Amino acid sequence: MAKSVTKTSAIADPMVERLRAALGQRAFTEQNMFGGTCFMLNGNMLIGTSKRGLLVRVGKAAHSAAAARPHARPMEMGARTMEGYVRVAPEGTATDADLRGWLDLALAFVGTLPAKSKSAKVANKRA
């Protein structure tokens, strides 16, 4: 399965390599978003990393439980809480098992979403 990889900066983020390895043979793409690298599955944002930690898409139904986990808090952009997304501090992804737990939570939600097509994105921008 083809993977689309975009170089994000001259300084390598070790979390990017850990996420690539954890995603294994899944067909994913990478995109620069939120000041870091986001991993996309079928055109949907799955999980991302930046110097502030991991950004995990968990969906609205799992938001409260995910935000209550150790080292996690609701994702905020400016003064707005992004329901369905949590930010995980680096301490919360210290082990491969920790990272796998967050990735599995994101995969469980994003796996329920329909695939996005590039043509739909272009059409929405033009509308």
The predicted structure's pLDDT at residue 1: 46
Domain ranges in the chain are 14-114
The predicted structure's pLDDT at residue 51: 82
State the pTM of this model: 0.81
The predicted structure's pLDDT at residue 11: 61
- Could you list the mean pLDDT of each consecutive 10-residue stretch along the chain, which spans 127 residues? 47 87 92 89 93 92 96 90 94 94 96 81 48
CATH fold of 14-114: Aspartate Aminotransferase, domain 1 (3.90.1150)
**SS3 category, 2:** coil
Task: Identify whether the C-beta of residue 60 lies closer than 8 Å to the C-beta of residue 83.
Answer: yes
Neighbours of 30 (CB within 10 A): 19
